[in-house]
Amino acid sequence: MTYEDWFRKDRLPHIYCAGCGNGTIINCTLAAIDQMNWNKDETVFISGIGCSSRAPGYIVTDSLHTTHGRALAFATGVKLANPKLNVVIFTGDGDLAAIGGNHFIHACRRNIDITVICMNNQIYGMTGGQGSPTTPKGCFSTTTPYGSAESPFDLCELAIAAGANYVARWTSYHVKELEKAVKVGLETPGFSFIEAMTQCPTNFGRRNKFKEVLDQVEALKTHALLKAKRDRMIEQGENIPDDFFIIGELIRRNRPAMGVKT
């Protein structure tokens, strides 16, 4: 497990709650990065603000822990100033899609050669559980005490529509698939977006009737529908329940990209 070399052990203990899925996603990302044979001096991790955005602090390379929602603006600057660098972003659903939403669509449109890992726990974790743009309809948060009345964003569909070259979604349950998807994202020139659905037992689970951490992981597993199966169901005219989400590689293409190594 050579990817342990990437951990900054002097920063432990970490801030994550017991049962949080973020560590799993960081592990999957580092396992993928470790297979790239990248030089640590040429690899930069960038994040905004949130629990998920604390991830770069636990990694030995240089990193930028920036302002809320602005990870992609900083990452764009870093990559365009020095295209030789490998730039990886950790972000949360609030950081990326609420305050950072505009940066997200434009980074996809520009198709900057960076890889974004979004830990989607469907809530603002760090600030105590406010609803985010991905909080599912009917779910409880401090700002939706009667259940969210809004339709959530599908972050992957957004990234595809805005122009990203590579888009995939997995969960903290699907560790092998997630690791592989991150690796393909790292290898694909242009903007790569990997959404990792994850459990937040403290702020989402407690409010949404998940008594145990595993109940929430189980829900991620049972509500995840493989893209190929979804396509078959549509062909056969079957209904896809509203509370299901699609997992798998959702797009891989070769649009003109910016900041690609020459």
Ligand X SMILES: Cc1ncc(C[n+]2csc(CCOP(=O)(O)OP(=O)(O)O)c2C)c(N)n1
Residues engaged in binding ligand X (CB under 6 A):
49-52, 68, 92-95, 99, 119, 121, 123-127, 132
Residue type, position 195, single letter: E
Q: Which is nearer to ligand X, 95 or 177 (CB)?
A: 95
Residue 157's nearest CA partner among 148, 147, 167 is 167
The DSSP secondary-structure symbol of 205 reads: I
Q: Which is nearer to ligand X, 124 or 193 (CB)?
A: 124
Neighbours of 167 (CB within 10 A): 27
CB of 220 to ligand X, least distance (A): 15
Q: Which is nearer to ligand X, 22 or 188 (CB)?
A: 22
CB of 156 to ligand X, least distance (A): 16
CB of 8 to ligand X, least distance (A): 19
Distances (CA, A) of 212 to 20, 79, 196, 208: 11, 41, 20, 11
Contact between 120 and 109 under an 8 Å Cβ cutoff? The reply is no
Torsion of Cα atoms, 171 then 174 then 176 then 181, to 10°: -40
Q: Which is nearer to ligand X, 49 or 167 (CB)?
A: 49
Q: Which is nearer to ligand X, 47 or 111 (CB)?
A: 47
Q: Which is nearer to ligand X, 54 or 180 (CB)?
A: 54
Distances (CA, A) of 167 to 117, 125, 170, 192: 10, 24, 10, 6
Contact between 242 and 168 under an 8 Å Cβ cutoff? The reply is no
Contact between 130 and 122 under an 8 Å Cβ cutoff? The reply is no
Q: Which is nearer to ligand X, 111 or 132 (CB)?
A: 132
CB of 140 to ligand X, least distance (A): 15
CB of 35 to ligand X, least distance (A): 26
CB of 96 to ligand X, least distance (A): 7
CB of 194 to ligand X, least distance (A): 15
- Count the residues in the chain: 262
Burial class (CB in 10 A: 0-12, 13-18, 19+), 182: buried
- Give 33's Cβ-side CA count (13 Å radius): 28
